[in-house]
A and B are shown apart, each in its own frame.
Chain A
Amino acid sequence: MTLEGRVAFITGAASGIGRATAVLMAEAGATIVATDVNDKGLEETLSLLPKGSKSEKIVLDVSDSAAVNAVVVSVEERHGRLDIMANVAGIAFASAEEKRKVHEEMALIAQSLRERRPPRRPPEFFHHLTDDDFKRMLKVHLYGTFYCMRAAIPIMTRQSKGAIVNCSSAAAFLAPMSEAHYTAAKAAIVALTRNAATELGPRGIRVNAVAPGAIDTPMVRDGLMPEFLDMLMQTTPLQRMADPREVAEAILFLASDAGSYFTGQTLEPNGGIHSGL
């Protein structure tokens, strides 16, 4: 039980990678603090943890700075410590309207793929992004990660120990068609991770990230049309999507003592993917 006695705070724990991380860390003996905006999903996650696991769920919107501070402080009050923070919370689209627009443009490309001819007009994403959608995407990923990290640092500093794992994306390193705000936010998280590691290393706090490729999660299934998944698989040497658990394994490695000499790094569980959309 590599995480026996440790308290792990996980955002985005109601589904996908966050849920798999909660399960894996509970199996490793950690006390799980599962947070998400989706209460029902959290309930399901807790039901999947091994019997006898110590766990709790907290509804939390990571883009709400004051709420993040209050929740993280309360975790230390109840559990006396905070050893691991996994910042997984994320969204594929900033709004329903944006999703509709992206799917419309993707349909153009999908049709051209099916009919083996160029699309009848070039797909357009970038200059149709609205202020609100752009900000919302940054808020959840970049600001949310910042808020959670900032709240954990004083606690981990007092302990002289702590491990933070942030969630970036293969999109940070590739150049996907569409979703420029998602790419920007995920690329920014890589740098935020590296920078925080430099400052926090002397205090015994390790900060790392994972940059997953195509993972079989509700977010990815919701975000990508089947034609695009096929296309992604053609540029993924392992030729399959990953189970969320395969990303959670990387998060667990970085959060546990197995990863004790890793800091400022980004691991890329991505099946070798070498092209964006």
Chain B
Amino acid sequence: MKLQGKIAFLTGAGSGLGRATARLFAQEGAIVIAADIDLAGAQTTIKDLPTAAKTEAAKLDVADSQAVNDLIGDVIARHGRLDILVNYAGIAWGSKEEEQRFNRMTQAIFSEITATGKATTQFDLFAQMTDEEFDRVISVHILGTFYCMRAVIPTMLRQGQGVIINCASSGAFFSRPGTPHHYCAAKAGIIGLTRAAATELSARGLRVNAISPGTIATAMTDVIPRPIAEMMLQQVPMRRLGSPDDVAKTALFLAADDSAYYAGQSLNPNGGLHY
């Protein structure tokens, strides 16, 4: 039991990486607070956890500063401490319309490749991105991660210890056609936040690190059109998509004492991706 009795607050815990991590952390003895904008998803996550009696689900939009402060303040007040924060909450697109634009372009490109062997259509995402779409993706990732970190730091400083794990992405380091610009910028921003926080807080017992997953099979990647998904698979040296468990195990390593000398790092469960 690597996390016996630890209080772990997870955002984006209603599905995918967050759900798998909540399960693994609970199996290792942690008391999990599963937060998600999708409350039903968060409730499903905690239903089968071994520590169900003490575990709780909460609704949270991490881009809402006040809501973050209120919820985390409440959790700390009730549990008396907070040991682990994992910031998973994320979105790929800033609106339904944006996702549809992407899907239309993808279909057009692949129909062309299928018919003629060559695509003349190119992705045209940047110039069409609206203020609101850009703002939403940046807000959920960079502001959301910042808000949650800021809310837990004073308590972790008082404890003299605490672990923060932020979720970036291989998109922070590599680019390929059709990847959302704001998403990759946001994820790179999270790497910056992680490093800066580690520099400031490491001397005081806090450990801040990031995970940059490659392509993981989740609801977020399920919607990627099949031809694209197959192309993405060919770019992974291991020739398989990652599973949420691959990421959860990385999170466990970073949350537990096993990683006691890691700070400001990004661990990259990505199957060797190097596109």
Give A contacts to B, CB under 8 Å.
65, 122-127, 129, 131, 134-135, 138, 142-143, 146-147, 149-150, 153-154, 157, 171-172, 174-181, 183-192, 194-200, 202-203, 264, 276
Give complex CA distance A176, B127 in Å.
Answer: 33
Cross-interface CB contact of A175 among B65, B138, B195, cutoff 8 Å: B195
Instruction: Verify if B117 is at the interface (C-beta below 8 Å from A).
Output: no
Q: If A150-B127, A192-B181 touch, does A187 touch B175 (CB 8 Å cutoff)? A: no
Instruction: Verify if B153 is at the interface (C-beta below 8 Å from A).
Output: yes
Instruction: Verify if B150 is at the interface (C-beta below 8 Å from A).
Output: yes
Give complex CA distance A131, B66 in Å.
Answer: 10
Specify which chain B residues have a CB less than 8 angstroms from the CB of A125 in the assembled complex: 200
Shortest distance between the CB of B169 and any CB in chain A (Å): 10
Q: If A65-B131, A126-B196, A198-B177 touch, does A188 touch B185 (CB 8 Å cutoff)? A: yes
Is B127's CB under 8 angstroms from A154's CB? Answer: yes
Specify which chain B residues have a CB less than 8 angstroms from the CB of A65 in the assembled complex: 131
The prevalent SS among residues of A at the interface is: helix
Give complex CA distance A43, B144 in Å.
Answer: 40
Residue of A nearest to B173 (CB): A191
Give complex CA distance A186, B181 in Å.
Answer: 15
Specify which chain A residues have a CB less than 8 angstroms from the CB of B192 in the assembled complex: 171-172, 180, 183-188
Instruction: Verify if B125 is at the interface (C-beta below 8 Å from A).
Output: yes
Instruction: Verify if B89 is at the interface (C-beta below 8 Å from A).
Output: no
Instruction: Verify if B140 is at the interface (C-beta below 8 Å from A).
Output: no
Is A197's CB under 8 angstroms from B175's CB? Answer: yes
Specify which chain B residues have a CB less than 8 angstroms from the CB of A149 in the assembled complex: 126
Cross-interface CB contact of A191 among B135, B187, B196, B199, cutoff 8 Å: B187
Is B175's CB under 8 angstroms from A198's CB? Answer: yes
Give B contacts to A, CB under 8 Å.
65, 122-127, 129, 131, 134-135, 138, 142-143, 146-147, 149-150, 153-154, 171-177, 179, 181-182, 184-193, 195-201, 203-204, 264
Across chains A and B, the number of contacting residue pairs, with CB separation under 8 Å, is: 143
Give complex CA distance A198, B179 in Å.
Answer: 9
Shortest distance between the CB of B108 and any CB in chain A (Å): 14
Is B127's CB under 8 angstroms from A157's CB? Answer: yes
Cross-interface CB contact of A126 among B150, B173, B191, cutoff 8 Å: B150
Shortest distance between the CB of A166 and any CB in chain B (Å): 11
Shortest distance between the CB of B98 and any CB in chain A (Å): 13
Specify which chain A residues have a CB less than 8 angstroms from the CB of B197 in the assembled complex: 126, 180
Give complex CA distance A240, B107 in Å.
Answer: 53
